[in-house]
Amino acid sequence: MRRRSRNLVSLLLLSLLVVGCSSPSGMGETASAPASMPNRSAGAEMADMKLATEPAAPGSAQAYLVNETQVADRWLVRNGALTLEVPDIPKARQEAIRILRAAGGYIENESMSGEPLRMGSMTARVPVQKYEDTMEKLKAGTRVLAESTNTDDVTTQAVDAQARLKVLRAEEQSLLSLYSRARNVDEILKLRSQLSTIRQEIESVDAQLKNLARMSALSTITINYQIPVNLPQAAPGDWAGRAFQEAYAGLLGFVRGLADFGIRFLVFVPIWGPIVGLFWWLVRRAKKHEANAAQ
C-alpha cells in the first residue's frame, strides 16, 4: 500500500514538472514571434534592393565600365578641324556625307550660308580608329587652307572613376548586408537613406565613365567649306600678272570707296542742303545790295 502511494506521488510530481517546463517554452515562442517580424520585413526589402546590384545588360550605362585591359590601353579623345576650299559646296557636302557614312560616322550639326552657297560648315563624329583615314579622304580633291588635330588623354580620369566606382560598390554591399540584419524601424530607415546616397553617387560616376567612353570611342571633326575668290590667278613667276591683280584689287577698292561716299553724300542732303541754300541766298543778297549802292 505504501509502495503504491509512493508511485502515485512520484507520478504526480513528474506531471507537474512536465507542465511547468512546457509553459515557459510556449511563452518564449509567443514572445519571440513579434521580434522576428522586422527581420522578415527587412529581408523582403533586401530582395528588392538587390535587383539594382545585378549585372547590367549590354548597352546599359554599366556596360561602359572600364576593365583592367581597357585601362592598359590609353583613353584618347581626338578632335580635328579642316578648312577646305572647294569649287562646289553642295557637291563637296555630299562627298563628305558619303565618306563619313562609309567610316561608320554621322553628322552632328551643319550650317550653310550664301546664295549661291559660298560658305558652309559641319561637325561630324567618326570612330577613333577611322579618324586619320577619314581626314585624308575629306582633304582629297580640295585645297586645304587650315588643318588642326587635338588629342586629350583621359586615361587618368577613367582610372580614377573606376576606382571610385569599386569603392562605392563595396560600400553598397556592406550597407545591404547590414540592412538584411536590421531589427528595428529606425535602423532600417537610416540604412535606407545611406543606400540612396551611395546609389546616387554610383549613378554619377557611372555616367562620367559612360561619357569618357563615348568621347574616346568617337572623334569629332569640324569641316569648314568656302569657295575660291574669283580673281585671275597669276603664275608664280609672273610679276605682270601679280601687278595686274593688285591694280585690279585697288581699282575695285577705289570704286567701292567712291560709291560709298556718293551714297553717304546723298543720304545727308536733307541736312546740309538747306544750310548751303541759305548761305548761297545770303551771299547773293549781299552782292545785290552792294551793286545797288554802287549805282
CB-based contact 65:212 (threshold 8 Å): no
Distance CA 269, CA 266 (A): 5
The three cell numbers of residue 202 are 554610383
Locate the domains of the chain by residue range. Answer: 33-230, 232-278
| 263-to-86, 100, 253, 258, 269 alpha-carbon distances in Å | 35, 48, 15, 9, 10
pLDDT tens by residue, 116-142: 677 889 999 999 999 999 999 999 989
pLDDT tens by residue, 82-119: 999 998 888 999 999 999 999 999 999 998 887 767 78
The pTM of this model reads 0.46
pLDDT tens by residue, 177-229: 888 888 888 888 888 888 889 899 999 988 988 888 888 889 999 999 998 87
